[in-house]
Amino acid sequence: MSTFLPPPIAVLTDGLPGQWFSEIRVFDGMVVLMHNHPSGDPSPSQADIQMTKAIIDIAAPLGISVHDHIIVGKNGHASLKGMRLI
């Protein structure tokens, strides 16, 4: 069985390789947010957490759930859901 990953509906980048990206993917009313930290440390900042909670609040009345927010760093990643921050 192959895994199908739909194309992102929004991708933001500064155009420089390895600098930063932000991506939103939608799966049947479920959203996965992803971005990287150019510093290399994937730990979520307070701004990351607050923004994610704001998106959750905005998306809920539309019937869209935020499944996770993944932050990519140089040597790994952080999942806000896995860290029980959302």
Task: Return the domain boundaries, the chain.
Answer: 20-79
3-state secondary structure of 70: strand
Instruction: Report which DSSP code applies to 55.
Output: H
Rg (CA), the chain: 13
pTM over 0.85: no
Give the amino acid at 24.
I
Average pLDDT over residues 50-78: 90
> Residue 72's closest CA among 8, 31, 10, 18?
18
Q: Tell me: the pLDDT tens digits for 2-59?
A: 455 455 555 444 444 554 556 666 667 788 888 888 888 999 999 999 999 998 998 8
Q: Which fold has domain 20-79?
A: Cytidine Deaminase; domain 2 (3.40.140)
